[in-house]
Amino acid sequence: MNIALYKYIVLVLLPLAIVGIYIALSGMKEEVPSEDREYLDPLPKSLRKIWPLAKLFGYYFGERLPVEWLEKYAAQLRKAGLNYLMTPSQLVGLQLVSGLLMALMVIVCTSMLSMMTFEYILFGFLLGLAMPMLSVWDIKGRREKELIRSLPIYLDFLTMATQAGLNITAAIHQAVDKGPETPLKTEFKKFVRDLRAGMPKEEAFKSMADRLDISEIDAFVTAVVQAEKTGASIGGTLKVQADQRRIERFLRAEKLAMQAPVKLIFPLVAFIFPTTFIVIFYPIGMKLMEAF
């Protein structure tokens, strides 16, 4: 009788608790400042459903983190090209939402298997907490590779434009207008935007280098700034940079090609060789067993 009474109480209180949580979240949501995304990057479809919760957690938890942490998050977002998609505090909120969803998924799966423990739930929460940052790092790595790959192409554009008589600013305008769609083109657009906003050319170049934090871009910016200061030939400087970047790209590809056989050793030993041995020696073993 007592068990039945407890079940009845739980059935009555559970909907009330859900309603109370919904009302509390609605009240908290009203305090979150509205977001104008007209000049921001559009949200991916995978984030649109959970974005209100991410903003909510980001407002109440993310903005209360130390400034040093938020600056590190901002640097990661900037290098990944996501600084116009979300703020550091919203990234923290997204991490919390991901952690809670993963913990809820672990609770459901482990309860169905009768294996639910606190350790599993904690592991699921920590895994979900790390997934947004892992995605940011993956996007940053792919973006850096694309920037390095497209740099020689844009250096060729700039070399031809400067050797035709244009200055470096006009050459960058031409590269932006006619160059291929890559992340580097987006960065050059930001450089042009900084110039139009009144930023000096040298500061605009250094801002782009700080924003990307890639050694090849740093070398390009340093060479151009030094050529501007000393009055050296911009066209010749850019041609040397383009040739150097192209040689580095070839050496990088050669290095990856040499690493391929080494990387193939583990899958060969762990998967291919055992399967081959099973296919070859299984009939022989069966015949031996039948003979004896």
Give a yes or no: residue 97 inside a domain: no
pLDDT at 156 (0 to 100): 87
Assign 137 a pLDDT band (cuts: 50, 70, 90): very high
Radius of gyration of the chain (CA): 28
CA nearest neighbour of 187 among 150, 135, 233, 225: 150
Q: Establish if 232 belongs to a structural domain.
A: yes
> Which CATH number belongs to the domain containing residue 203 in this structure?
1.20.81
Summary mean pLDDT of the chain: 83
User: What is the phi/psi pair of residue 95, to 5°?
Assistant: -60, -45
Asked if residue 249 is part of any domain, the answer here is yes
Structural domains counted in the chain = 1
The average pLDDT across 6-24 equals 58
Q: Say if 272 falls within a structural domain.
A: no
pLDDT at position 73, please? 92
User: In the predicted model, is pLDDT for residue 136 greater than 90?
Assistant: yes
Q: 211: domain range? A: 144-263
What's the mean pLDDT in 257-272? 84
pLDDT tens-place string over residues 160-215:
888 888 888 888 888 888 888 888 888 888 888 888 888 888 888 888 888 888 88
Give the per-residue pLDDT at 263: 84
Tokens describing residue 121: 């739930």
In the numeric block, which tokens belong to residue 48? 């649109």
The answer, yes or no, to whether residue 10 has pLDDT greater than 60, is no
**Is 279 part of a structural domain of the chain?**
no
Q: Is residue 217 part of a domain?
A: yes
Using the predicted structure, report yes or no on whether residue 134 has a pLDDT greater than 90. yes
Report d(CA 156, CA 239) in Å as an integer. 7
* Distance (Å, whole) CA 170 – CA 209: 19
* Cβ atoms within 10 Å, residue 291: 6
Q: How confident is the model at residue 1 (pLDDT cuts 50, 70, 90)?
A: very low
Tell me whether residue 164 is in a domain: yes
What tokens appear for 93 in the block?
Answer: 């909120």
How high is the pLDDT of residue 13?
A: 60
Entry pTM: 0.74
Look at residue 78 and tell me if it is in a domain: no
pLDDT-based confidence at 29, cuts 50/70/90? low
Q: How far apart are CA 208 and CA 165, in angstroms?
A: 24
- Contact residues for 240 (Cβ-Cβ < 8 A; gap 6+): 223
Question: 94-127, pLDDT tens digit by residue?
Answer: 999 999 889 889 888 887 877 778 888 889 899 9
Percent of the chain predicted with pLDDT > 90: 11
**What gap in Å lies between CA 124 and CA 108, rounded to an integer?**
11
SS3 per-residue string spanning 121-170: HHHHHHHHHHHHHHHHHHHHHHHHHHHHHHHHHHHHHHHHHHHCCCCHHH
Cα(165)–Cα(152) distance, rounded to whole angstroms?
Answer: 20
Determine contact, residues 224/234, Cβ cutoff 8 Å: yes
CA angle 64, 103, 23 (to 5 degrees): 60
Taking the C-alpha atoms of residue 79 and residue 82, their distance in angstroms, rounded to an integer, is: 8
What span, in angstroms and rounded, lies between the C-alpha atoms of 268 and 72? 40
Contact between 80 and 136 under an 8 Å Cβ cutoff? The reply is yes
Predicted local distance difference test score (pLDDT) of residue 4:
58
